[in-house]
């Protein structure tokens, strides 16, 4: 039976895998390239079947203690006038929490039984008959039984075990950025959504005296930048939003001062397999779908399924990995289908597209159509039905 597991990535999927494998008696190590846990980040929500995994982990009440408890989100027109309001359940699901807070909850739940190594990363994987020989940028080599890639859209484990990212990645023609900024409008448990053609802005806050969470989504055809050069990325974003009215100039001031910027182009990662030999991928590393695809909830569910199948197969990773793929793939593909229209929906490129988007928001909040959006999002969230593995 496999006992030692190396997990790459300390955000959400990685600690979730460690949580369940610890319960099964595995020895787990999480290696994370960043020097520490990343704070901040955009909010993530859970609904439907995804709530089961939080309950089975015994973390639902802890997550609720840190939930955003956001209220309505208001859609604004180009002049900043409110044109529609979306109920909290439509945007925030059954429970919503900032990504950084969720990462901290998972870390606290695993740190006593999992070794965390920050500021390092995997540089090579060599599979032998009985394990995987692993080298690192800084640490000493190790030999482990299994390796789990839970290191996001730009997964290093995926590149080493499956091939270069370009082989599996499809661009969607949009980019997104998220960062914390001063809450100069003193929003209180509410959010605003503002658009001009091809550019969208979200501005939300839980506390009038606390920071605001700002999101930009914009059409990004032919962008040229170095993703690792934060100053260059900030310049690109500022140029895209130059001349946009409403509160955008003040939000750009916040962007320049932000220390927690997240930026990436919206893309879909598709792999014909999520496992190779003794290596398995979980979350965005295996099926990155971008915003709107229930990615966080599915990653945590997939971590449970992976551990459960290892338990059911008495540690036989070949059998467990095969069953894991069969269980998770339909949900990953449903999430990708749901996320496909995220960019055009959040930042329509044409006046007609923007008008139709706003009209759909108005329609979804009427009594006749109330619940339609919830049913749509629940359909994706509920594609993967969690078995009871008796863990």
Cβ distance 231 to 253 under 8 Å? no
Structure tokens at 128: 């032998």
- Kindly report the three-state secondary structure assignment for every residue of 327-362: HHHHHHHHHHHHHCCHHHHHCCCCHHHHHHHHHHHH
Query: Quick one: pLDDT at residue 283?
Result: 95
Instruction: Flag whether pLDDT at 184 surpasses 90.
Output: yes
Query: Quick one: pLDDT at residue 374?
Result: 63
Span 127-164, pLDDT tens digits: 998 899 999 999 999 999 999 999 999 999 999 999 99
Instruction: Flag whether pLDDT at 297 surpasses 70.
Output: yes
pLDDT, the chain, mean: 91
Q: Which of 175, 187, 339 is nearest to 241 (CA)?
A: 175
CA 158 vs. chain centroid, Å, equals: 17
Query: Quick one: pLDDT at residue 349?
Result: 92
Cβ distance 214 to 361 under 8 Å? no
Instruction: Flag whether pLDDT at 123 surpasses 70.
Output: yes
Beta strands, E only, the chain: 4-8, 27-32, 43-46, 73-76, 82-86, 95-98, 114-118, 122-127, 132-136, 142-144, 146-149, 169-182, 190-196, 199-205, 211-219, 262-269, 275-276, 279-281
Residue 94, phi then psi, degrees to nearest 5: -85, -30
Cβ distance 154 to 263 under 8 Å? no
Adjacent-strand bridge partners of 97: 44, 67
Mean pLDDT within 311-331: 96
The fraction of the chain above a pLDDT of 90, given in percent, is 70
Separation CA 99–CA 128 (nearest Å): 37
What confidence category does residue 124 fall into, taking pLDDT thresholds of 50, 70 and 90? Answer: very high
Query: Quick one: pLDDT at residue 363?
Result: 77
Instruction: Give the CB-side neighbour count of residue 389, counting CA atoms within 13 A.
Output: 26
Cβ distance 208 to 186 under 8 Å? yes
Query: Quick one: pLDDT at residue 366?
Result: 67
Instruction: Flag whether pLDDT at 1 surpasses 60.
Output: no
Span 18-51, pLDDT tens digits: 999 999 999 999 999 999 998 877 888 898 899 9
Adjacent-strand bridge partners of 29: 6, 115
Query: Quick one: pLDDT at residue 377?
Result: 63
Query: Quick one: pLDDT at residue 222?
Result: 78
Instruction: Flag whether pLDDT at 89 surpasses 80.
Output: no
Instruction: Flag whether pLDDT at 289 surpasses 80.
Output: no
Separation CA 254–CA 132 (nearest Å): 45
Query: Quick one: pLDDT at residue 372?
Result: 62
Instruction: Flag whether pLDDT at 292 surpasses 70.
Output: no
Query: Quick one: pLDDT at residue 270?
Result: 94
The fraction of the chain above a pLDDT of 70, given in percent, is 93
């Amino acid at each position: 039976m496999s006992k030692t597991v190396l997990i790459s990535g300390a955000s959400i999927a990685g600690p979730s895998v460690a949580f369940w494998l610890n319960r099964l008696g595995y020895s787990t190590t999480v290696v994370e390239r960043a020097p520490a846990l990343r704070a901040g980040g955009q909010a993530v929500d859970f609904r439907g079947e995804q709530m089961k995994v939080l309950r089975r982990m015994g973390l639902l009440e802890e997550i609720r203690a840190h939930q955003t408890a956001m209220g309505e989100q208001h859609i604004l027109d180009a002049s900043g006038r409110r044109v529609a309001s979306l109920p909290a359940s439509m945007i925030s699901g059954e429970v919503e929490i900032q990504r950084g807070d969720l990462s901290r909850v998972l870390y606290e739940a695993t740190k006593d039984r999992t070794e965390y190594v920050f500021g390092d990363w995997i540089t090579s994987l060599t599979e032998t008959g009985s394990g995987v020989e692993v080298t690192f940028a800084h640490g000493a080599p190790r030999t482990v039984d299994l390796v789990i890639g839970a290191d996001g859209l730009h997964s290093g484990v995926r590149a080493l075990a499956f091939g270069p990212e370009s082989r599996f990645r499809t661009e969607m023609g949009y980019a997104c950025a998220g960062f914390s900024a001063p809450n100069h409008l003193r929003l209180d448990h509410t959010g605003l959504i503002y658009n001009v053609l091809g550019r969208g802005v979200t501005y939300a806050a839980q506390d009038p005296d606390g920071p605001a969470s700002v999101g930009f989504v914009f059409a990004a055809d032919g962008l040229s930048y170095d993703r690792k050069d934060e100053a260059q990325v900030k310049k690109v974003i500022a140029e895209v939003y130059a001349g946009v009215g409403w509160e955008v100039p003040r939000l750009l001031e916040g962007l320049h001062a932000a220390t927690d910027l997240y930026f990436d182009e919206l893309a879909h990662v598709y792999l014909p397999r999520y496992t190779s030999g003794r290596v398995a991928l979980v979350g965005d590393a295996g099926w990155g779908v971008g915003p709107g695809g229930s990615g966080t909830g599915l990653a945590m569910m997939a971590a449970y399924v992976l551990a459960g199948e290892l338990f059911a197969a008495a540690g036989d990773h070949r059998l467990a990995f095969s069953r894991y793929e069969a269980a998770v793939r339909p949900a990953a593909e449903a999430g990708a289908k749901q996320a496909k229209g995220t960019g055009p929906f959040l930042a329509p490129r044409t006046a007609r597209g923007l008008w139709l988007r706003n009209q759909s928001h108005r329609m979804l909040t009427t009594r006749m159509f109330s619940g339609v959006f919830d049913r749509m999002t629940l359909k994706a969230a509920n594609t993967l039905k969690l078995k009871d593995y008796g863990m």
